Chain A
Amino acid sequence: MTATPTRPARKLSMKARYSALTRDLDWEPSYVSSEEMFPYTSFEGIKIHDWSKWEDPFRLTVDAYYKYQAEKDKRLYAVLDGFAQSQGHLSLSQASYLNAMKIFLGGVTPLEYQAHRNFAFLSRHFNGPGPRFAALCQSQDEIRHAQTEIHTLSNYNKYYSGMHSFLKQHDRVWYMSVPKSYFDDALSAGPFEFLIAIGFSFEYLLTNLLFVPFMSGASFNGDLPTMTFGFSAQSDESRHMTLGLEAIKFLLEQDEDNVPIVQEWVDKWFWRGYRVAAIVAQMLDYMLPKPVMSWKEAFELYFEKQMLEGLFPDLEYYGIKPPRHVQQAIDEKEALSHFVYWVFYNFSFAANFTTSIPSKEHQAWLAENYPDTFVDYFQKPRWDKAQRIVDNGGRFFFMGLPQLCQVCQIPMTFPEPGDLNTICQRTSDYNGEHFNMCSDGCKWIFDREPEKYVQAWLPVHQIYQGNCGGPTVPDVLAWYGMQEGDGGEIAGSRDEVNWAAWHGTPAAKEA
């Protein structure tokens, strides 16, 4: 020991201190080979020459992380407890608002959990200590989000339908295979593709379209716990966004050969994420009693303006172009949500949420926000007809099974580019079998990795193959774990009847 310190002299900058406490922990193994130590970082073709070039996006030491997070959780759980004790759920805008949260709990929360597990994978298997530590922090954050979302919505589950079996339903219910297959796709890829798929595309490129709309909807509709969760997750999310941006820049700067690989991942994961966002689009436009903004407006602001005009000009420097098929997404923005909610209206007897014909005022809002499409393509040919059936004492449900896209797994409902009256259908043959896709984007993804997408667990195929509880609708619903009141029509639903009773008003209308 040579150093003989007198009084502690704090000579280190924050950056140097952070580096000493995290990165400097790494060492070059010599008793096993580097290939043995890091077996997963070569097969994707990504070349990293200098891992130390990774710029740590957040210089958070472990003690500071614990301190901030513990304080945030203390505040969040205090709100949850107070809301539960005061029967805060009675001040929601409407019971039907919770349809958005039923989709969120079943569709998004299990993804947070998956992210937790796979960022743990990255925090073991990346060669460089910088990205490993960043992934480790994100892994911790993601289990926080999964758990705080469950705890936030747990109180609603005690009083409302459709949330009680969210885990089973994530794995079984037809539309849940859309988000589930999306994340399974990312987890089954290599560590670099996962980083671009989730770190960059989900957390940065699309987070304002995939995640944030639920929090904004909560804020507009009196859902204090979810809104509080949203604010509480915000500082975590901004770290994740920074990580995503650093990730793509790091890969692009390391080797020019990485550029075409990353470009294809950006192309793929934009489209995969965008198709998942179709579910968010219908939520924004149809499920919120007090709407926040239309899907079209959200898409224009958060994607066209912030990403296409803001981010991609920066990425052009590295040779990255806007995602392939982005024009189709732009062209669809006036129609996307309407097609998807129509599907949900048709099939909500087999879902964990309820649907209804939008009210007159709501239809006026839709017409105003979608002046070129709503009235001619959706109101007249669909909702007016559905209304006539209701006026005659009925309710239209589609009792057959839809064909699903082999890639995104959404029922084939999307239009041919430029023709809203024709359903788009693309096909590919692989190993003598015929596969159907909903769009050029999904077909391109299939054709890149057919050996992957032929494995998909397609809910409709599984029902036909007898793997989902039996041949009849009640058989399948029982296998889904559905309970009375979970799905179907909003009017006269269990939630609506209870809501009216709790508020001392008669149910608005009978089904």
Chain B
Amino acid sequence: MQYELRTQVIEPIRKTFTHLVERYGDRPASRYEEGTIGLQATEHFHYRPLWAPDKELYDPAYSRFVLTDPYSFTDPRQLYYAPYVTARSQLHEAFGKTLDYLESHNLLARLPEAWQQLLTGLVLPLRHYESGGQMISSNACRFAYGTTIAQCAGYAAFDRVGNAQILSRIGLALGGGTTDALTEAKAAWMDAPALQGLRRYVEEAMVAGDWGVEMVALDLADQLLYAVLYRHLDEVALLGGAGSYSLLAQHLAGWFADQRRWVDALYKAWAADPETGAANVEHLGAVAAEWLPKAQAAVGQLAAAIDELVPDAGAVGAVDAAAASVTASLAALGVSAAASAHSKEESA
């Protein structure tokens, strides 16, 4: 038996905002849609930017990648601010619990020596890589055309500082509460030969100048790096008595799976655009042809250093496998395999 609560009913005169009715039909809109679609102005800009007088404040021409209708892309996660911060709050809370556990059981100090070196010398320095990722993503947030892409990029930018913070907190823990391990890691980022390829890569990606190209370049390196460090090594760690590494890696692997959802959807939207799709596919091929071999070489250097520390890690092989998988997923979008092949002979 239910009790009957009478409530005052007033018929609304409309279900949502007009631009959403025009796009999606006369139905109530979700909070994602109301808070996202069409927010960025597209007309009647008053002044040209002093720093880019050939462009409008928001201009599709900030990238070679163009969507005829910017809202043909929507975030498959439907993230607006409130669910975004809620989801990330949970991620960081879960990570904090893992770290607390590891610290309270002194498990980081019990990692095999090689894994400790791997963490400090090769993984912690990547907090700087994440910081570069923030800057690339922030640039995309400013210059992408349309709210849906800019919003994803904006959250991704903040995510990157979060990822860097996860790595930094591991570093603080490894340093027994001091910044010693972080200082060592920074020195490695600046000078260790195994990391210079990656540092050069991210510095060059940051100045590519086209937000779309920068994002794709970052993503190509991400796909190799995350596959090796947080998926492949996760397995190796479990088999090699370094379970703590696996416990930490799961949080970054989980983040990357979430990141892929919108990046893959964006690639699909670029490729599927009825007017610009062919050109987008061609650009994607060109960007991959230029950047994937560089990414593979840079991450390969890092992987080689991993294999030196943990002889059975198979990291170099994992990078090659990840690169092949990137090529295959691009091919599935119609991006020509020759253009995106990871060796120069094949692309020539």
Contact = CB atoms under 8 A, between A and B. Distances in A.
B17 A25 contact: no
Given A113-B39, A159-B10, A154 B139 contact: no
A158 B93 contact: no
B18 A165 contact: yes
B158 A3 contact: no
Interface string A1-19: 1111111111110001100
A465 interface: no
Contact of B165 (A62, A123, A167): A62
A158 B10 CA distance: 10
Interface in A81-138: 85-87, 90, 110, 113-114, 116-118, 120-121, 123-125, 129, 132-133, 136
Contacts of A457: 44-46
A190 B52 CA distance: 10
B179 A20 contact: yes
B174 interface: yes
B44 A143 contact: no
B12 A3 contact: no
Contact of B200 (A25, A31, A63, A121): A31
A113 B139 CA distance: 16
Contacts of B106: 5-7
A354 interface: no
Given A6-B176, A77-B82, A146-B39, A187 B157 contact: no
Interface stretch (A169-177, A336-344, A396-404): A169-177
A44 to B, nearest CB: 8
Interface string B183-196: 01010011000000
A62 B203 contact: no
Interface stretch (B69-77, B84-92, B265-273): B84-92
A177 to B, nearest CB: 7
Nearest to B136: A124
A295 to B, nearest CB: 26
B276 interface: no
Interface string A182-214: 001101111000000000000000000000000
A298 B85 CA distance: 35
Interface in B125-179: 127-128, 130-131, 134-136, 138-139, 141-142, 147, 150-151, 154-155, 157-158, 161-162, 164-165, 168-169, 172-179
Contacts of A455: 46-48
Interface centre among B50, B116, B128, B162 (most CB of A within 10 A): B50
B142 A118 contact: yes
Interface centre among A1, A7, A185 (most CB of B within 10 A): A1
B44 A172 contact: yes
A1 B207 contact: no
A43 interface: yes
B10 A140 contact: no
A123 B44 CA distance: 26
Given A8-B177, A37-B206, A113 B40 contact: yes
Given A8-B173, A124-B135, A124-B139, A31 B199 contact: yes
Interface residues of B, number: 98
Interface stretch (B30-38, B225-233, B318-326): B30-38
Contact of A117 (B50, B131, B142, B182): B142
A140 B50 contact: no
Interface centre among A73, A159, A188 (most CB of B within 10 A): A188
Interface stretch (A64-72, A374-382, A413-421): A64-72
A502 interface: yes
Interface in A262-315: none
Interface in B78-126: 80-82, 85-86, 88-89, 92-93, 95-96, 103-104, 106, 108-109, 113, 116-117, 119-121
B46 A184 contact: yes
Contact of B18 (A12, A25, A143, A164): A164
Contact of A110 (B17, B39, B49): B39
Contacts of A456: 46-47
Nearest to A89: B10
B88 A73 contact: no
A18 to B, nearest CB: 10
Interface string A422-465: 00000000000000000000000000000011011100001000
A122 B140 CA distance: 12
Nearest to A36: B207
Interface residues of A, number: 102
B93 A73 contact: no
A282 B156 CA distance: 41
Contacts of B14: 157-158, 164
Interface in A27-84: 27-32, 36-37, 39-40, 43, 61-63, 65-67, 69-70, 73-74, 77
Given A32-B206, A455-B46, A165 B138 contact: no
B143 to A, nearest CB: 8
B15 interface: yes
B39 A167 contact: yes
A1 B117 contact: yes
A455 B14 CA distance: 37
A16 B139 CA distance: 28
Contacts of A21: 164-165, 168-169
A139 interface: yes
A139 B138 contact: yes
A2 B158 CA distance: 32
Contacts of A11: 176-178
B57 interface: yes
B172 A17 contact: yes
Contacts of B88: 66, 70
B51 interface: yes
A384 B300 CA distance: 82
Contacts of B10: 87, 90, 159, 502
Contact of A124 (B15, B142, B180): B142
A12 B117 contact: no
Contacts of A144: 81-82, 85
A166 B172 contact: no
A66 B35 CA distance: 19
B186 to A, nearest CB: 7
B59 to A, nearest CB: 12
A264 to B, nearest CB: 15
B39 A32 contact: no
B84 to A, nearest CB: 9
Nearest to B86: A70
A116 B157 CA distance: 13
B13 interface: yes
Contacts of A181: 46-47
Contacts of A65: 85
B85 A70 contact: yes
Nearest to B121: A1
5 contacts: A63-B89, A113-B147, A124-B135, A147-B82, A167-B17
In the A-B complex, list the 9 residue pairs whose CB atoms are closest, starting with the nearest. A5-B176, A147-B35, A158-B12, A25-B131, A63-B92, A120-B141, A66-B89, A73-B82, A121-B142
Given A85-B7, A87-B7, 4 more contacts: A3-B176, A70-B88, A170-B41, A171-B41
